[in-house]
């Protein structure tokens, strides 16, 4: 048996195990879940502030701040959605 072939096979096996993906706790799904939860919390907080302002329980400044935060969250979500759709369409246009 050739020693060089043995070393090559051993090195390949080590490199293969080092390059193998490792499962991560959380990952991209957990990050997306956090963003979605934050978005929902921002909208819910804005809605609660708007209800309180209508009944006289919140000052106008708090209402304006809550509406600005809600508007920013919605604009961000729309921008991300547009980028995802654009990337998907770009993938569909790729030649096979």
- The pLDDT tens digits of the residues spanning 14-70 come to 776 666 666 666 566 788 889 889 999 999 999 999 999 888 888 889 889 999 999
Q: What is the mean pLDDT of residues 74-78?
A: 93
Task: Quote the pLDDT of residue 3.
Answer: 59
Confidence of residue 11 (pLDDT cuts 50, 70, 90): confident
**Residue 27 CA from chain centroid, whole number:** 10
**How far, CA to CA in Å, does 96 sit from each of 85, 89, 92, 93?**
20, 14, 9, 9
Q: Domain locations in the chain?
A: 26-92
Q: 20-57 in b/e burial notation, b at 16+ Cβ within 10 A? A: eeeeeeeeeeeeeeeeeeebeebbeebeebeeebeeee
**Helices and strands counted in the chain (H then E):** 3, 0
Give the pLDDT score at 65: 92
């Amino acid at each position: 048996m050739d020693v060089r072939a043995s070393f090559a096979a051993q090195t390949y096996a080590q490199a293969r195990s080092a390059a193998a993906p490792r499962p991560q706790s959380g990952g991209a799904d957990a990050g997306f879940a956090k963003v979605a939860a934050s978005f929902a919390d921002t909208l819910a907080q804005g809605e609660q502030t708007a209800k309180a302002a209508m009944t006289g329980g919140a000052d106008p400044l708090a209402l304006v701040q809550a509406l600005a935060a809600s508007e920013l969250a919605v604009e961000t979500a729309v921008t991300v959605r547009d980028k995802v759709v654009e990337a998907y369409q770009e993938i569909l246009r790729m030649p096979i």
